[in-house]
Structure formats: structure tokens, C-alpha cells
Chains A and B, each alone.
Chain A
Amino acid sequence: MMKYLAKLGKLDRRIIFLLLLVVILIPLLFSIKSRFYVDSATRGLYDYIDHIEPNGRPLVLSFDYDPQVAAELDPMARAVLRHCFARGVRVIGMSLQPQGDAIGEAIITQTALEFKRQKGKDYCYFGFRPAGTIVMLQMGVNVKRALPIDYYQVSFDSLPMMHNIHNYYDMAMVLSLAGSNWPYFWIVYAETKFKVRVGAGQTAVMAPDNYPFLQTGQLVGQLGGMKGAAEYEQLIVDAGYYHKGDMASKAMNAISFSHLLIITLILLGNIGYFVTQHLGKKK
């Protein structure tokens, strides 16, 4: 028995990969669904967006991420855009990360189509803007200079939605979806200097870094990883803004199952380690 337990510490990593694949596929294939609680950080962001006046000041949605982390952040972008478009909240899309450029365009166009929203009137997309912190500062003084032409090479002045938008005071909030610390820079250069409200959608790896800013109110709310996206999907479905949960909601059970497996493996690994040590001492 002790021998078998000692072997647990030396389990071939390929067996672990295979086990992980199986526990992920079972809930996905059999569509096992369950409800989950909504975190106060997600609720804070949802409530703030839910109180933005329709056809009033627009929300700035910054796609500050690359395809590597799109799995976690795409569902957030879709859920937030559905919430905005369903309520008639206007959206200014942009990206401070080079590869976020095309990601943002695809998501904002697809979601606008779902709600029959018009480009230039209900939303604008400016694509990638280099030198992120300079763009943040410039938007506080003169948006037109920071975003002179949109993604489709249309000039700022030719976009009806942008006619009365001069700086952050004409915007409801900035929501940065990022796999790195872009939300932190938005807090420093936009929230601190110009007092515009900032929200964050972060990969789970980065989410813990923002808790100090949530506690001080420097962030209105945060979506943390796939769970944050699933929570937002659930909130917009519960409120009747959208008819069903999307990819993140479907992934939640697979995440729970895989976490159970990882906890079990950590426990077994530790047992294996202690048994190996115990056997070593005996020898």
C-alpha cells in the first residue's frame, strides 16, 4: 500500500493531462448546468453600467488584450456589449494592445448586428492606438486628437456619435478588458487625473492585483476570469437583456470539475511526498 502511495508523487504528467481532458469534456458534452453566486466586484460593474443613461454619455470599451487570453476576455466583452446595446447605451470601442485591434472589431460588429445597432451612431470603433498612456492622457484633454480616425479610416468629425464628445467628462466610464496591467494604467492616468470612473475585466491571473483598487473605490467593479464573465452573463439573462448564457456559463461546470481534480491531485501528491520521505527514513 505504502509503495503505491509513494508512486503518486511520481505520476507521469501525461496521465494528468489525460485526466484533465476527461473531466473537462464530460460536463461540456453532457451540458451539465448549475447556478453560481455573483461576486460583489461583478455586481458593482453591472450596477454601474445598468445606471448609465441610454443614448447619453457613452461607455469606452478598451480591448486591451491579445488572442492568447481571448478565451477569458471575449465572453466578458460580449456580455458587456449585449448589456449596453440592449439598454441603448452607446459604446466607443478601442484597443491599446496591437492584436486587440481585430478582436475588438469582430466582437463589437457581431454584437451590434444581434441588436441592430448602427456603426457611427450607436457605437464607434477606433481600433489599436499606440503609446497607451499618452492616449489615456490625451483623451482627457481632446478625444479628437487621441482618436483622429476610426478603424475604417473614417475621420472623427464624420462620426455622428462623436459630435459632442470632447474628453472624459463626456463619457460615462472606461472599461478595460486586459490580460496585463492596462486597467492599472487607466486608474493612474484616467481615473486619478481626470476622475473618470474605471472598470476592469481581467484574466484570472491578473484579477487579484486589482482587489486593493476595488476596496478603495478606484475601480467601480471587476470581472475576474471566466467566472467573472459567467457571472455577468447570468446577470444579463436574469434581468432579461439577453435570452441565454454563452460560452462562459457553459464552461463553469468544466472549471468546477477540473478544480476538484486539481485539489485531489495536490492532496495525493502531498501524500505521496510524505510517504516517500517516511520510506526513505526507514531505509
Chain B
Amino acid sequence: MSTNIWVWLAALLSLAIFSYLYKENPVFRFAEHLFTGLSVGYYIVLYYNNYAIPYIVIPLSEHRWITLIPMALGMMYLFRFIPKLNYLILIPIAISLGFGSGMSIPLTIEADVLKQVQGTMIDTSMMKNIWDPQNGLIAGILILVGVVSSISYFYFSREHKGALKVSANLGIWFVMIGFGATFGYTVMARVSLLIARMQFLFTDWIHLIK
């Protein structure tokens, strides 16, 4: 068994959380509240050290007065608590929205739409290795058919009849296979978390696994 008090603390808190699997109980509640409180305290200290110090305290101590402008804009959010002046928070919100949209829209269109459309195209380089799971011809055809049929399923301006019905039904199959793959990955993720906790309890705490 471990002689490290922190390992014991972590192990006992892990068991407290696991006790919920049997049923809701005060030990689980205690661990849950402890975690919430610790997280809040941690965030406050972290934000002060990593936000306030490098971006406010240091620049102001070096007489970089331009820092006062974003600082004042940030503090305008506090007008939320003064009913007569709370319309002033629209200023920082408008600046954030304008900057955020201008920054993200062109880049998102390029990364998410143009490059992805380009990725569905079949070209002669795919003939080199027909069976390659990423860049082969078969994969290319599957991606093209999958994208077109899935999009046709989400086309609601016409009733799904005739060719559109065939394509939309095929699209459902592609979407379902996608959901299945995602669910499989999710199962692996949850099981992985449990395994890691077991490794900690049986390796670091009670030294049963070497």
C-alpha cells in the first residue's frame, strides 16, 4: 500500500465518487462539493496569475498606458449591475461581436467549406492506390456518394420522392454508420477513463499491479 498521503486522499475521493454507482449517498455528495469548491478557487488564482499579471499588471508597471483602453472596455461589463447605466455594456459586446465575426467568418468558410468541398473531389492521383483508406479511388467515391446523399436527406424544399427519395434514404445509411462509429468511440472513451482509475487504484494505491 502507498505511504503517500496525497495518493490516499485521491484514492478515497475516487471511491467516494464511485459509491454513486450503488446509489446516491452523503459521501458522494461531499466529494462532489469538494471538487466544485476546489475548481472555483483554482480558477480564480489561475486567472489572476495568467491574465491579470501578464496583461494588466506588468504592462501598467512598464507605463504602457494603452492597456487602459481594453481594461476600461472590460470593466464596462460591470455596468450590468447599475440599472441606469447597464446599456453601456452594449459597447464591449458590440466590439467583441464585430471583432469575432470579422475574424472567424472568412477563416471558417475556408477551413470548413472550401477545403472540405475540395476534399470530396475525385482526381487522377487517387488511381495510384485505389484501396488507400484515405486517398484511394474507392474512398473518394464513397466520400462523394456519402456527402451528396447525406446532404440530399437534409434538403427539405421538395418532397422526398423519386430520385431524391433514393438519395435521401441512402443518406440515412451514411448518417447512421457515422452515429455508430461515434458511439463506438464514446464507449471506448468512457471505458478508458474507468481503466485509468483502476490502474491508479491498483498500481499507485494498493500496489497490486506492477
Contacts and interface: CB of A to CB of B under 8 A. Distances in A.
Interface of A: 14, 17, 20-21, 24-25, 28-29, 31, 40, 68-72, 98-99, 101, 127-130, 133, 137, 148-149, 187-189, 191-193, 203-205, 207-208, 212, 214-216, 218, 224-227, 247, 250-251, 254-255, 258-259, 262
A213 B118 CA distance: 11
Contacts of B86: none
Contact of B185 (A98, A129, A208, A254): A208
A188 B103 CA distance: 10
B139 to A, nearest CB: 8
A130 B195 contact: no
A99 B42 contact: yes
Given A28-B209, A204-B188, A208-B181, A251 B196 contact: yes
Contact of A226 (B46, B192, B208): B192
B192 A188 contact: no
B192 A192 contact: no
A218 B115 contact: yes
A43 to B, nearest CB: 11
Given A188-B107, A216-B116, A225-B188, A98 B199 contact: no
B193 interface: yes
B91 interface: no
A130 B192 contact: no
Contacts of B47: 98, 130
B192 A225 contact: yes
A204 B103 contact: no
Contacts of A255: 188, 191-192, 195
A247 B199 contact: yes
Contacts of A149: 53-54, 58
B209 A29 contact: yes
Nearest to B208: A29
> Ordered nearest first, which 9 A-B pairs have the shortest CB separation?
A71-B196, A204-B189, A216-B119, A226-B192, A204-B185, A204-B188, A192-B111, A205-B189, A188-B111
